[in-house]
Amino acid sequence: MKTIIIGGVAGGASTATRLRRMDEKAEIIILERGEYISFANCGLPYHIGNVITERDRLLVVTPDKLRATFNIDARVQHEVVSIDPKKKTIKVHELSNGREYSEKYDKLVLSPGASPIVPPLPGVDLPGVFTLRSIPDMDKIRDFISEKHPQRAVVVGGGFIGLELAENLVYRGIEVTVIEMLDQVMTPIDYEMAAMVHQHLDFKHVRLALGDGISGIEQNEALHVSLQSGKTVDADMVILSVGVRPETSLAKSAGLKLGARGAFEVNQYMQTNDPDIYAIGDAVAVKNIISGTEVNLPLAGPASKQARVVADHIAGKDVSFNGVQGTSIVKVFDLTVASTGLNAKQLDQLSLPYKSTIIHSSNHAGYYPAASPMAFKLLFAPDGKIYGAQVVGLEGADKRIDVIATAIKGGMSVYDLEDLELGYAPPFGSARDPINIIGFVAANILRGDLQTIDWNDVDTIDRSEYAILDVRDPEELAIGEIAGSIHIPLGELRERVKELPRSKKILVYCQVGQRGYFAARVLAQMGFQVTNLNGGYKTYSHAVCPQANFDTFEHVTISSREEITETVPFNPADSNQFEVDACGLQCPGPILKLYQKIKEIEVGDVVTVKATDFGFTSDVGAWADRTGNKLVSLDSDSGVITAKIQKGAAKKAEESRGTMTQDKTMVIFSGDLDKALAGFIIANGAASMGHKVTMFFTFWGLNILRKNDPPKVKKNLIERMFGFMMPRGANKLTLSKMHMAGMGTSMIKGIMKKKNVNSLEELIQSALDNGVTIQACQMSMDLMGIKEEELIDGIDKVGVATFIHASDESNATIFI
């Protein structure tokens, strides 16, 4: 039997070698268009970053070796251009000499992979613009870096490959900007989990634009990248990493059917609609075993398993491929980001009822050196079936996601996770592994012992119905808190319970959720209706704080950021030095240890804290700011964070923060034209002086942000009435005084034009261009029935806590 395999990398090479193991007599030919077979595409970004130092390590096998070891005829630079399924022949184009020939097959296996999507935009073909799929692509990027010494790179797309590239370009000393069209990077995980990745990218000085795509690239002195928002960024190189498209150009000539995302449709044996033609890997649509839907999952694991199934099936074995569940993992600098199964967005799309929980647990016993925390999210059905999980952490994240992946495959429920018996000794885990703990929490929720609320519901709860209770210790409050919380540390809860209003439900929170749960149990048994904040303040604060840092970099460039930490006027030789080892402690542990030490030392003394909880990177700055201490430097290496804090240099701290302490926040409540003009004139003025400005539009102020010609949106009667009565957009606003049936308003507009004063629309646009953050109050939008689509572009829809956070950071809040 003669089997021809098209594509000689992950799926193709695996099919060939497995088939040889099953059938010594088979004739096996691999036809590969590229110059290399069986290379490690997953390793390409790491050679760009010099993490994998030797290029040859990526070349797993050569055609000669395949022939010698497996008797496989592997032909590189041979492109298959068409298939004739009736005659069972293929037409091959030999790229090195232009020769064309036909080859007969008994069985044909298509493993042509997927090609990087290149958006049809001006400038994508300019020199210095790259995609990454193959060894030659990688060589081009490496050569460019060696020859041109680029200082700045733009990576378009915040998926796996985009982030791996961002990290590796940083390792080459290049300043990287990631542009991501969605409101988060890494779509397999949910927003609040991705928030930790956003903050880690910021910590690693990667500039990040979210909710924005590129609209074109021009070649000036540098590559001038325009974004859809109108913003621009200059770079010396651009890498397009916006996703891949299944390579199915051969489908047409062969009459093969296509399924999800235009990938080859296959049955459980990976046969296309022609039983003698199989397809595998990035180019096929397969069943998701949890949702039952057809998906295209371009990952190496499924490709290699499908290869085995195909080889066995060709060799006459009764085997089948049962589907995928989407297990993936990626390293983003110090973080591991892993997921399996379905996420919240997918479950919502499928209208599947589900619950979820987030825990923050250590990878191993906290008392054993170098424990590090992980954020661990589990999604499950009301009957306990596990839908999916996500982990963002350091060591041990991979192990936990793999256990959950196995549990899903084995059809286990959250109740099984409770009593899974996993290997334990202090260096490896805990007697109650994070897997068990997440099982306990999920089972508590399902058994009715615990109610939880998610971070994104906190800002929209009705405060007349809920009291918010913070059970953290007083020292932890300096990290930040939810506005309007009642503060009773857990240890004092029983004696101070009278301070809680009996008439209200209680939303309780602590730093990571555990003490909140303990408090919830105390209060529930005292007759309160109580709900615990999922993932605690840690998850909440990560998710509500600004996610993108693109505009920050406008005023604070990467190099000036370095200066912020380096030019602090402190001389270590003059100060007493202290060390605190907080490795292994979970947030807020490192902050509490730091606080204890700061209490003991003199003003001017310096404490070096080592920690492994990456929450500490954002907490320590906020804590130092609020407590009048100075964060002198902050860095991380191999998962260990090192922060230097100088005691009590509050004044110096303010000076060194430069533009940051001059932040301005504005609440725009009014929808009157004159007040809106005043607001935007002040905002533009402050922004032009380098101040960070946040404008929060609420109630009538929201009308300023409405589009003049909004798309049709679904509204109920009351919402329609509100919409009808209120001015639609900046152009329709009227003066607060002397409107005079429209005369006054027209007059003022005329005078403004004459005197060359920008119109309100122009002022709004210039504010956006100047990096002013414009926020629309989610609650007012809901109340007034204003939908997101009705608002102009570039607006953040936020809860009040997000604004309060900005207001806390500012030195003035203006109410208009």
Nearest approach in angstroms of CB 58 to ligand FAD is 11
Nearest approach in angstroms of CB 675 to ligand FAD is 52
DSSP 8-state class, residue 791? B
Helices (H) and strands (E) in the chain, counts: 27, 40
Nearest approach in angstroms of CB 313 to ligand FAD is 17
Nearer to ligand FAD, 64 or 221 (CB): 64
Is residue 583 flagged as an active site residue?
A: no
Nearest approach in angstroms of CB 606 to ligand FAD is 41
Nearest approach in angstroms of CB 350 to ligand FAD is 24
Nearer to ligand FAD, 10 or 506 (CB): 10
* 51 vs 170: CA distance, rounded Å: 12
List the structure tokens of 523. Answer: 């209060």
- Nearest to ligand FAD by Cβ — which residue? 281
* 1 vs 816: CA distance, rounded Å: 80
Q: Are 728 and 735 in contact (CB under 8 A)?
A: no
Residue found under tokens 């397809």? 279
Nearer to ligand FAD, 11 or 535 (CB): 11
Nearest approach in angstroms of CB 32 to ligand FAD is 5
The DSSP secondary structure of 264-318, one letter per residue, reads EE--TT-B-SSTTEEE-GGGEEEEBTTT--EE----HHHHHHHHHHHHHHHTT--
Nearer to ligand FAD, 42 or 319 (CB): 42
The DSSP secondary structure of 506-518, one letter per residue, reads EEEE-SSSHHHHH
* 452 vs 446: CA distance, rounded Å: 11
List the structure tokens of 308. Answer: 């085995």
List the structure tokens of 444. Answer: 């508590």
Nearest approach in angstroms of CB 239 to ligand FAD is 10
- Of all helices (H) and strands (E), which one includes residue 614? none
Q: What are phi and psi of 79, to 5 degrees?
A: -100, 130
Nearest approach in angstroms of CB 96 to ligand FAD is 13
The strand ranges marked E within 613-683 are: 630-637, 640-646, 664-668
Find the catalytic residue in 42, 510, 545, 587.
42
**Which amino acid belongs to residue 30?**
I
Beta-sheet strand order (sheet of 630-637) = 577-582, 606-611, 640-646, 630-637
- Please give the span between the terminal C-alpha atoms of the chain, in angstroms, as a whole number: 80
Q: Are 62 and 9 in contact (CB under 8 A)?
A: no
Nearest approach in angstroms of CB 178 to ligand FAD is 16
Residue found under tokens 């005197």? 755
Please enumerate in sequence order all residues whose Cβ is within 8 A of that of 140, keeping only pairs 6 or more positions apart, or say none.
130
Strand 27-32 with 114-116, pairing: unpaired
Could you give the count of Cα atoms lying within 13 Å of 746 in the half-sphere of its Cβ? 4
Please enumerate in sequence order all residues whose Cβ is within 8 A of that of 407, keeping only pairs 6 or more positions apart, or say none.
386, 416, 417, 420
Q: Are 287 and 296 in contact (CB under 8 A)?
A: no
Nearer to ligand FAD, 301 or 572 (CB): 301
Nearer to ligand FAD, 141 or 435 (CB): 141
Nearest approach in angstroms of CB 331 to ligand FAD is 9
Q: What are phi and psi of 578, to 5 degrees?
A: -130, 155
Nearer to ligand FAD, 284 or 735 (CB): 284
Q: What are phi and psi of 292, to 5 degrees?
A: 80, 0
Sign of the C-alpha dihedral, residues 602, 608, 611, 613? positive
Nearer to ligand FAD, 143 or 492 (CB): 143
List the structure tokens of 663. Answer: 């932040």
Beta bridge partners of residue 693, listed in sequence order:
664
Q: Quick one: three-class SS letters along 106-149?
A: CEEEECCCEEECCCCCCCCCCCCEECCCCHHHHHHHHHHHHHHC
Nearer to ligand FAD, 303 or 530 (CB): 303
Strand 2-6 with 214-219, pairing: unpaired
Nearer to ligand FAD, 331 or 657 (CB): 331
* 727 vs 734: CA distance, rounded Å: 8
Cis peptide before 711 (omega within 30 of 0): no
Exposed, middle or buried, 220 (CB in 10 Å: 0-12/13-18/19+)? exposed
Nearest approach in angstroms of CB 227 to ligand FAD is 24
Nearer to ligand FAD, 33 or 207 (CB): 33
* 67 vs 38: CA distance, rounded Å: 13
Nearer to ligand FAD, 275 or 301 (CB): 301
Q: Are 641 and 612 in contact (CB under 8 A)?
A: yes
Nearest approach in angstroms of CB 346 to ligand FAD is 19
Angle, helix 160-171 to helix 191-203, in steps of 10 degrees: 10
- Centroid of chain to Cα 799: 20
Can you give the binding site for ligand FAD, defined by CB under 6 A? 6-7, 9-12, 31-34, 41-42, 44-45, 79-80, 111-113, 132-133, 161, 247, 250, 281-283, 298-301, 303
Nearer to ligand FAD, 310 or 500 (CB): 310
Nearest approach in angstroms of CB 161 to ligand FAD is 5
Would you state the torsion angle of the CA atoms of residues 230, 233, 238, 242, taken in this order, to the nearest 10 degrees? -40
Active site amino acids: 42
